Chains A and B, each alone.
Chain A
Amino acid sequence: MSFSVPAPLEARLDELVTHYPVKRSASLMFLHALQEHFGYVSREAVEWTAAKLGLQPINVYELVTFYPMFRQEPLGTTHVKVCRTLSCALAGSAALREQFCKKLGLDSHAHAPQTTPDGKFTVEFVECLAACGSAPVVLVNEDLHERVTAQAAEKILSEGSRLEGAAKGKTPVKGASGAAS
């Protein structure tokens, strides 16, 4: 299937460009919109954005790799974000992450978010989730879980494993010399 941006979205983005003194300034807004639509920013999305804004793909790719919020690969159905910042760290978030990773067969030392091969889970270690008073904190998709215990973590895992895995993405920007490691 080839990459195609629906006409209404494209029209919205074209209009958006007119708000900026230079086209390039609209890059981030494009990426947000494309990620919202496709679930992640694919190689084609980067190239499409660059062509739209009169840039080289590398210019856009720099942004995509700079902001951890942009995903270069589709996420799992259940996205587990474990807070790593001070309060949570003191309250044992590292062990919590370890627990998630071990159970899911993921590397608990990897720098970037990791997704299980069945597309069911993505585990990510993130900065402060602004709920420090109830550390350790885990954000599962849009739901905040506070004072997460090992048992609570098990529950998150068992609930998530009952859901369908996410569809595999088409072409993540892979093989970059500097692709997020």
Chain B
Amino acid sequence: MSAPVTPPATAATQAAPPPPETVTVKVNGKTVQVPKTMPNWQGKPEATTMLQAARCAGVDIPHYCYHDKLPVAGNCRMCLVEFGTPMIGPDRKPVLNEDGSPKIARSVLPYEPGTPRGAIACATPISPGMEIYADSPATKQMREAVLESLLINHPLDCPICDQAGECKLQEYSVQHGQAESRFVEAKVHKPKAVDLGPRIILDDERCVLCTRCIRFTKDIVNDDALGIVNRGSYNTISAFPGKTFDNNYTLNTVDLCPVGALTSKDFRFKMRVWFLKETASVCTTCGTGCNTTIGSREGVVHRLEPRANDAVNGPWMCDTGRLNYKWIARADRLKEVRVGGRKSTWSTALREITAKLSTAPAGSVAIVASARQTNEELFLLKRLATKLGAITDSIAREGEPDRLLVSGDRNPNSTGARLTGVSFTEAGIQLPKIAAGIASGTIRSLIVFGEDVTQHGIDASLLAKLDMLVVSDILPNATTEAATHLLPGAAAPEKRGTFVNVKGRLQKFHKAVEAPGDARPEIEFLQELADAVAGPTGTSTIEGLFNRMTADIPAFGGVQWSAVGDTGVTLSL
């Protein structure tokens, strides 16, 4: 007999989901109730481990090989802890202390009952009444011993190691290590500065053989490229000789590697990590919108790292997105306001544009925006367009999607462009109409943001027919060349704003560095322009503008800026 697939959906018969089954354990003497099962690396429920239970109690058990999002390997032994379980008498009943509490049997070696026997917390499931001694003398001794063994052949070259400052080997050594080495034998030397792939350098001597990198590339990326070769103390991480480690996710192994073995060619020896300011941001390279942390110092972006967000990218990001930041510092960035081809000022340019737009006959202005712009910018452009009766559009940007993160939509905010009404279901369908309008002379002014329209059917000869061409961009191109009014804009790390990714996740990003020269975040001058031409929005802050937008556009559901948080909210589209 088959059960009905869907239960009747009436409110009355819908039972509340049963509360998750829990198990009571003690961590460092503190009683905690923890769920009986917890998500494994694939998010499927599996018996809760000692390590997870300890986390629930706010205790972090040191570990190298364990990672929430990778299959458990249990090979580093760093997470060894002493534990105990309730004693059971010959009558199969719990043995009790005099005060009635259950007697706990500490785990010991079977052949040496005086010696505590640890278990690896990352792979040992909890059982009711279990006691975990995460800081007992025996646990500490086990940790020290594991660390000592890991450091036997370690080169101790921390001063020149990129991982220094965010290295688990350093951290655990400070907490659990010994100040003196007892090792007098010659260390085993392993390969240094191995060119593993186009973006990765491996120092095998620093490796603690946790196999995180192997599991990541095999189980997450589906590129079984790495392995451990040789035996015993000669164990070495390697790709097959002659093959390079080259998929679009290799740099995640640098984040994963708990020590300084895997390093990024891009970041290697560039900057000590403790000098970096960290800013929560979002990758702008495709429509997935992976959450990132920008590491910058004194106005210069030095690296991007993924910021964990299970609703979007998990803890990963692709290499393309991660390395797509260098152009921000290009020398040919647009840094000057230019009017009529000559250096000018913001006030002159904005005054002229306002004057022109305020008297423009309805339908004589068109706007080409970019789906790389923020929702707030697009909202203001749309406001302007509505006032001017202007036709608007944005430009599609497409590529090959992959099976992990990369979206076929290479714009970070196509959804935002649609929601704000700047573009339609298919971005770019209005462009021929705009081109025709310019050719026939009905469109006299064109406003372009962040796109080179000469690549999209509006060529230089058409642009030359316009009375006014307002262009805001970051890098020079044929359209910026032709601008009557050139307004230098800001890259995502230089401003704040929100995007909506391809799946409808509304995400916020923050400013890490200043835009160069006279360049300004677009929102600032767009607000001035829109207020002057279309009437005041009644707010001068990005927060206010955002709240105004979400109230005006039903799809945003009135969500408040303060409610978005750094991992975003999902819109029901």
| Contact assessment for B234 and A179 in the assembled complex, using a CB-CB cutoff below 8 Å | no
Interface centre among B202, B204, B224, B230 (most CB of A within 10 A): B230
User: Nearest-CB distance from B391 to chain A (Å)?
Assistant: 54
| Contact assessment for B234 and A173 in the assembled complex, using a CB-CB cutoff below 8 Å | no
CA distance in complex: A57, B225 (Å): 9
CA distance in complex: A179, B238 (Å): 9
Asked whether B431 is an interface residue with its Cβ less than 8 Å from the other chain, the reply is no
Residues of B223-250 contacting chain A, CB below 8 A: 224-231, 234, 236-243
Residues of B396-422 contacting chain A, CB below 8 A: none
- Give B206-230 as 1s and 0s: 1 = Cβ < 8 Å from A's Cβ atoms: 0000000000000000001111111
Contacts of A174 in B (CB 8 A): 241
Asked whether A6 is an interface residue with its Cβ less than 8 Å from the other chain, the reply is no
CA distance in complex: A46, B226 (Å): 15
- Give A45-70 as 1s and 0s: 1 = Cβ < 8 Å from B's Cβ atoms: 01000000001111101100111100
| Contact assessment for B242 and A58 in the assembled complex, using a CB-CB cutoff below 8 Å | no
Asked whether B191 is an interface residue with its Cβ less than 8 Å from the other chain, the reply is yes
| Contact assessment for B240 and A178 in the assembled complex, using a CB-CB cutoff below 8 Å | no
| Contact assessment for A58 and B230 in the assembled complex, using a CB-CB cutoff below 8 Å | no
Q: How many residues of B contact A (CB 8 A)?
A: 24
| Contact assessment for B230 and A66 in the assembled complex, using a CB-CB cutoff below 8 Å | yes
Secondary structure of the A contact surface, majority rule: loop
| Contact assessment for B240 and A58 in the assembled complex, using a CB-CB cutoff below 8 Å | yes
Asked whether A19 is an interface residue with its Cβ less than 8 Å from the other chain, the reply is no
| Contact assessment for B231 and A58 in the assembled complex, using a CB-CB cutoff below 8 Å | no
Contacts of B239 in A (CB 8 A): 58, 177
| Contact assessment for B242 and A175 in the assembled complex, using a CB-CB cutoff below 8 Å | yes
| Contact assessment for A179 and B227 in the assembled complex, using a CB-CB cutoff below 8 Å | no
| Contact assessment for A56 and B202 in the assembled complex, using a CB-CB cutoff below 8 Å | no
| Contact assessment for A58 and B234 in the assembled complex, using a CB-CB cutoff below 8 Å | no
Residues of A9-51 contacting chain B, CB below 8 A: 43, 46
Asked whether B464 is an interface residue with its Cβ less than 8 Å from the other chain, the reply is no
> Assuming the A-B contacts A57-B240, A57-B243, A111-B234, are A177 and B227 also in contact, with contact meaning beta carbons closer than 8 angstroms in the complex?
no
Contacts of B229 in A (CB 8 A): 61-62, 65-66, 176, 178-179
Asked whether B196 is an interface residue with its Cβ less than 8 Å from the other chain, the reply is yes
Residues of A167-181 contacting chain B, CB below 8 A: 173-181
| Contact assessment for A178 and B238 in the assembled complex, using a CB-CB cutoff below 8 Å | yes
> Assuming the A-B contacts A56-B224, A58-B225, A177-B236, are A65 and B230 also in contact, with contact meaning beta carbons closer than 8 angstroms in the complex?
yes
| Contact assessment for A177 and B204 in the assembled complex, using a CB-CB cutoff below 8 Å | yes
CA distance in complex: A181, B231 (Å): 11
| Contact assessment for B191 and A178 in the assembled complex, using a CB-CB cutoff below 8 Å | yes
| Contact assessment for B231 and A66 in the assembled complex, using a CB-CB cutoff below 8 Å | yes
CA distance in complex: A179, B194 (Å): 12
Identity of the chain A residue whose Cβ is nearest the Cβ of B226 in the assembled complex: A58
> Assuming the A-B contacts A59-B224, A65-B229, A65-B231, are A177 and B238 also in contact, with contact meaning beta carbons closer than 8 angstroms in the complex?
yes
| Contact assessment for A62 and B196 in the assembled complex, using a CB-CB cutoff below 8 Å | no
Interface centre among A46, A65, A68 (most CB of B within 10 A): A65
User: Nearest-CB distance from A110 to chain B (Å)?
Assistant: 12
Contacts of B225 in A (CB 8 A): 56, 58
Contacts of B240 in A (CB 8 A): 46, 56-58, 61, 176
Q: How many residues of A contact B (CB 8 A)?
A: 23
Secondary structure of the B contact surface, majority rule: mixed
> Assuming the A-B contacts A57-B240, A57-B243, A111-B234, are A177 and B228 also in contact, with contact meaning beta carbons closer than 8 angstroms in the complex?
no
| Contact assessment for B243 and A177 in the assembled complex, using a CB-CB cutoff below 8 Å | no
Contacts of A55 in B (CB 8 A): 224
Contacts of B190 in A (CB 8 A): 178, 181
CA distance in complex: A43, B241 (Å): 9
CA distance in complex: A58, B229 (Å): 9
Q: Identify which of A58, A68, A175, A181 contacts B227 (C-beta below 8 A).
A: A58
CA distance in complex: A43, B243 (Å): 12
| Contact assessment for B243 and A58 in the assembled complex, using a CB-CB cutoff below 8 Å | yes
CA distance in complex: A57, B204 (Å): 20
Residues of B543-560 contacting chain A, CB below 8 A: none
CA distance in complex: A103, B234 (Å): 28
| Contact assessment for B234 and A59 in the assembled complex, using a CB-CB cutoff below 8 Å | no
> Assuming the A-B contacts A57-B243, A58-B240, A65-B229, are A177 and B224 also in contact, with contact meaning beta carbons closer than 8 angstroms in the complex?
no
Residues of A138-157 contacting chain B, CB below 8 A: none
CA distance in complex: A58, B227 (Å): 6
Q: Identify which of B189, B227, B231 contacts A59 (C-beta below 8 A).
A: B227
Contacts of A173 in B (CB 8 A): 241
User: Nearest-CB distance from A153 to chain B (Å)?
Assistant: 27
| Contact assessment for B238 and A176 in the assembled complex, using a CB-CB cutoff below 8 Å | yes
| Contact assessment for B234 and A177 in the assembled complex, using a CB-CB cutoff below 8 Å | no
Contacts of B231 in A (CB 8 A): 65-68
- Give B253-270 as 1s and 0s: 1 = Cβ < 8 Å from A's Cβ atoms: 000000000000000000
| Contact assessment for A61 and B241 in the assembled complex, using a CB-CB cutoff below 8 Å | yes
| Contact assessment for B226 and A178 in the assembled complex, using a CB-CB cutoff below 8 Å | no
Q: Identify which of B189, B204, B224, B243 contacts A178 (C-beta below 8 A).
A: B204
Interface centre among B191, B226, B241 (most CB of A within 10 A): B241
Q: A58-B238, A177-B202 are in contact. List 16 more A-B contacts (CB 8 A).
A: A43-B241, A58-B227, A61-B241, A62-B227, A66-B230, A174-B241, A176-B238, A176-B240, A177-B196, A177-B204, A177-B238, A178-B204, A178-B228, A178-B229, A178-B237, A179-B229
Q: Interface residues, chain B, CB within 8 Å of chain A?
A: 189-191, 194, 196, 202, 204, 224-231, 234, 236-243
14 contacts between A and B (CB under 8 A): A58-B224, A58-B243, A59-B227, A61-B241, A62-B228, A68-B231, A177-B196, A177-B202, A177-B239, A178-B204, A178-B228, A178-B229, A180-B234, A181-B190
Q: What are the 3 tightest A-B residue pairs by CB atom distance, in nearest-first order?
A: A178-B236, A176-B241, A178-B229
